[in-house]
A and B are shown apart, each in its own frame.
Chain A
Amino acid sequence: MARLNLILLAVAVACALAVVSSNHRARKLFTELEREQNRMRELEVEWGQLQLEQSTWAAHARVEKIARERLGMKVPAPGQVVTVEAAK
């Protein structure tokens, strides 16, 4: 009887320790998840900012200015444009 009790006690202690350690691991993983989610939000914000930057650099007015002044481009005359119909 006493032996059985001792074994059960040992099992109970082992279980308790397992609960503690798994709880600890869960919390660690959770913090990691939190961190990654924060990173995701930060990256999303950065993406928005990069989009803004892209739109600013690619603003039509800026592109036109550079094309005309620095690259010496101009709008093709009507005769220089050939429209190709897509095969249907």
Chain B
Amino acid sequence: MKFVKFAQSPVLSQALPAWRMRLVMWAILAAFGALIGRSLYLQGFQNDFLRQKGESRYERTIEISATRGRILDRHGDALAVSTPVKSIWAIPEDAKLTPHQARELAHLLEMDVRDLNAKLNANRDFVFVKRQLPPDVAERVVALGLPGIHEQKEYRRFYPSGDVVAHMLGFTGVEDAGQEGVELALEGQLAGKPGSRRVIKDRRGQVVEDVESIRSPQEGKDVFLALDGKVQYIAYTHLKQAIAETRAKAGGVVVLDAKSGEILALMNWPTYNPNNRTRLIGAQLRNRAFTDTFEPGSTLKPFTAALALEKGSYRFDTLVQTAPGKLSIGPATISDAHPHGMLSVAQVIQKSSNVGISKIALSLPSEDLWKMYDGLGFGSPLRLGFPGEVGGRLRPAKSWRPIEQATMSYGHGISVTLIQLARAYLAFARDGDLIPLSLTRVDTPPLNGKTVFSAQTAHEVRTMLEMVVQPGGTAPKAQIPGYRVAGKTGTAHKIDGGAYVEKYVASFVGFAPVSDPRLVVAVMIDEPAGAKYYGGDVAALVFAQVMAGALRTLGVAQDAPLKPMLVADAPAVKEEM
């Protein structure tokens, strides 16, 4: 090979055109320019997008679930607790199972194979195969390693007290959000807010670094109810027993703390088990004490008497002529089944005379009566946040005819809920004032509420109501050995299709101990079917049992000698309807 020195290269001797060199130089410069432009574009304008792409390779956003708060009774016993369960879901497109696999899965899930296949063949991207499984079952499903079958963590609410506290607590839906009762009323406190955070995960899926917390999770708060589990159970057993004995359609018991306005117990019958709601009927779900109004009958009488005392137009012992047991107002006639003759105001209440209380009511201005009913909370819901809470019917005073003014005094033509009725009696159990009711535990009881009656009136009415359970009254069965008890019976005809029919609502509302009332108990029995349907028979008995049990449980001091004032099965004065 012949070497040629560079300087002597024949190529050099050829004079190349100068434009070629310039062309190459510009081409190279242009290439550099393109590179700089591209890198500026990537670094400057596309920076965020690319950074995101990069981060998505190793960063993950993790949802942090928050548990729903527990519901506890006033002593801290659990009434509702959420615990994790697993749901099995599938992507139908991926879930191509062999018949054997499908059978195995169906067996584990306790499902019909055909149902399972129908779900897996659904024309959707996502389908829940079965929700809320115990974690161990879900584990075995995942262990099968079937394609397209996945699990997801969820929470399920359990109610260990079952049907005892059902209506008060309500329940949550499958998404663990409140749907009824306290679960809905206090949803704001109970519900947790799930949070999320960004982390870096390594190849094995382990979190190695916390990048940032996007939203910190908020755990649901525990709620202490005013409810006393023992008192509630006492109400449950006695109401259940009474319903069975009287073959009644429904019933309700409410126990209030007269000092603090707390709802210590609230029981409706029929009830249901909130843990198993597959075969529920509407009647079981009704929280009657809050949502069903009824004409209270004679339990309203003491309020008219109290207003008459308050106005000074009547005194405790003012005599009222109730003979001949009939009172005609326009075309209508109010009557007492057992004519009584001259009665004092106290005796009108004790013997529950319709004529007597009507005469008192007619002597009072309708405006004042309306104001009192309104002040007692009739006609407007309590607004405790319960779903479906109603206010009952209280028509404006201007539209009252005299006959209505009279019938309302003994509880017809006006409708209330059981909880309203119980609350109104707080005015007598306290010194004439009404305090708001509370679902949750009250640590500092309100000292004074809204004054409805003077303290003196309240004391006088208390004496009258104590006479009701004494000899000559309508409810000797409401007596409790060792305690002074006061209360009022009610037996009202029910309205069916606009007319009063031979069906009854028996009720009793009362409080004890009379010397310093601690508890108010209201009992309502709807359509007792037995031979006994009077409030003094049916409801007073439940009242006495629940009240006695509750007083003993709460350790309230006795305020009366032990010997009953009257043998319980001595004849009671039949109350008027």
Residues of chain A having any CB pair with chain B under 8 Å: 26-27, 30-31, 34, 44-45, 48-49, 51-52, 54-56, 58-61, 64, 75, 78-79, 81, 83, 85
Please state if B206 and A49 are interface contacts (CB–CB under 8 Å): no
**Is the Cβ of B84 less than 8 Å from the Cβ of A45?**
yes
| B481 & A51 in contact (Cβ 8 Å cutoff) | no
**8 Å CB contact of A30 from B207, B482, B558:** B207
CB distance from B171 to the nearest CB of A (A): 15
B77 touches A44 (CB 8 A): no
What's the nearest-Cβ distance from chain A to residue B48, in Å? 26
The docked-state distance in angstroms from the alpha carbon of A64 to that of B83 is 28
Asked whether A52 lies within 8 Å of B158 as measured between CB atoms, the reply is yes
Pull 28 A–B residue pairs with CB atoms less than 8 Å apart, ordered by A: A26-B209, A30-B209, A31-B207, A31-B208, A34-B206, A44-B67, A45-B83, A48-B67, A48-B70, A48-B82, A52-B83, A52-B160, A55-B77, A55-B81, A55-B160, A56-B160, A60-B230, A64-B233, A75-B549, A75-B552, A78-B480, A78-B481, A78-B482, A78-B548, A78-B558, A81-B552, A83-B555, A83-B558
Nearest-Cβ distance from residue A60 to partner chain B, whole angstroms: 4
Q: Are B210 and A30 in contact (CB under 8 A)?
A: yes
Identify the 8 closest CB pairs spanning chains A and B, nearest first: A55-B160, A60-B233, A78-B481, A83-B557, A51-B78, A78-B482, A55-B78, A27-B208
Residues of chain A with a CB closer than 8 A to B558's CB = 78, 81, 83
**Pair B77/A58 contact, Cβ less than 8 Å:** yes
Given contacts A44-B67, A45-B84, A60-B233, contact A78 B556 (CB under 8 A): no
Set of chain A residues within 8 Å of B210, measured between Cβ atoms = 30
Taking CB as reference atom, which chain A residue is nearest B230?
Answer: A60
The distance in angstroms between the C-alpha atoms of A4 and B209, with both chains bound, is 37
Q: Would you list which residues of chain B between 532 and 565 have a CB under 8 Å from chain A? A: 548-549, 552, 555-558, 562
* B160 and A59 contact, CB distance less than 8 A: yes
CB distance from B199 to the nearest CB of A (A): 9
Q: Which B residues, 332 to 391, have Cβ-Cβ distances below 8 Å to chain A?
A: none
Beta-carbon contact of A60 and B229 below 8 Å: yes
Q: Which residues of A contact B141 (CB under 8 A)?
A: none
B414 within 8 A of A: no
**Within 8 Å of chain A (Cβ to Cβ): is B161?**
yes
For A60, the chain B residues whose CB sits under 8 A away are 164, 229-230, 233
Indicate which residue in B70, B206, B555, B557 contacts A51 across the interface (CB closer than 8 Å). B70
> When the two chains form their complex, are residues B161 and A55 in contact, meaning their CB atoms are under 8 A apart?
yes
In the bound assembly, the distance between CA atoms of A42 and B537 in angstroms comes to 54
Which residues on B sit within 8 Å (CB–CB) of A48? 67, 70, 81-83
Given A30-B210, A48-B82, A52-B83, decide whether A85 and B562 contact each other with a Cβ distance below 8 A.
no
Q: Is the interface of A mostly helix, strand, loop or mixed?
A: helix
A83 x B556 contact (CB < 8 A): yes
CB-CB under 8 A from B161, the residues of chain A are 55, 59
User: Which residue of the partner chain A has the closest CB to B77?
Assistant: A55
Chain B interface, number of residues (Cβ within 8 angstroms): 34
Provide the residues of chain A in CB contact with B480, threshold 8 Å: 78
Shortest beta-carbon distance from A62 to chain B in Å: 11
- B209: which of A27, A51, A54 is its contact (CB, 8 Å)? A27
Q: Is the CB of B207 within 8 A of A34?
A: yes
What is the distance, in angstroms, from B272's C-beta to the closest C-beta of chain A? Answer: 16
Measured between beta carbons, the chain A residues less than 8 angstroms from B552 are: 75, 81
Complex interface: chain A residues within 8 A of B556 (CB)? 83
In the assembled complex, how far is the CB of residue B277 from the closest CB belonging to chain A, in whole angstroms? 18
Given A78-B481, A81-B552, A83-B555, A52 contacting B78 (CB threshold 8 A):
yes
CB closest residue in chain A, given B557: A83
Contact in complex: A51, B81 (CB < 8 Å): yes
Chain B residues whose C-beta falls within 8 Å of the C-beta of A54 in the assembled complex = 78
Measured CA separation A78–B480 after assembly (Å): 9
**Minimal beta-carbon separation of A46 from chain B (angstroms):** 9
| Pair A30/B555 contact, Cβ less than 8 Å | no
| Complex-state Cα separation, A45 to B556, whole angstroms | 38
- B84 cross-chain contacts in A, Cβ below 8 A: 45
How far apart sit A52 and B83, CA to CA, in the bound complex (Å)? 9
CB A10 to nearest CB in B, in angstroms, measures 29
How many whole Å from A59's CB to the nearest CB in chain B? Answer: 7
Q: How far, in angstroms, from A51 to B83 measured CA to CA in the complex?
A: 11
- B residues 72-131 touching A (CB-CB < 8 Å): 77-79, 81-84
For B562, the chain A residues whose CB sits under 8 A away are 78-79
Min Cβ gap A58→B in Å is: 7
| Chain B residues positioned under 8 Å from A52 (CB to CB) | 78, 81, 83, 158, 160
Which chain B positions have C-beta within 8 A of A59?
160-162, 164
Residues of A within 8 A of B237 (CB): 64
Smallest beta-carbon distance A73→chain B, Å: 14
Alpha-carbon gap, A61 to B208, bound state (A): 51
Per the bound structure, the CA–CA distance linking A60 and B231 in Å amounts to 10
Question: Which B residues are CB-close (under 8 A) to A79?
Answer: 481-482, 562
Q: Which chain A residue lies CB-closest to B84? A: A45
Cα–Cα, bound, A34→B206 (Å) = 9
- Report B235 CB to chain A, min CB distance, Å: 11
Contacts of A56 in B (CB 8 A): 160
Task: Give bound CA distance, A67 to B221, whole Å.
Answer: 35
Residue interface bits B439-456, CB-to-A below 8 A is 1, else 0: 000000000000000000
Which residues from chain A contact B230 at a C-beta distance below 8 Å? 60
Interface 1/0 per residue, B467-480 and A, CB below 8 Å? 00000000000001
A54 to B162 alpha-carbon distance, docked (Å)? 14
CA separation between A75 and B78, bound complex, in Å? 25
CA distance A48 to B548 in the complex (A): 34
Mark each residue of chain B from 50 to 83: 1 if its CB lies under 8 Å from any CB of chain A, else 0: 0000000000000000010010000001110111
Which residues 231-278 of B sit at the A interface, judged by CB distance below 8 A?
233, 237
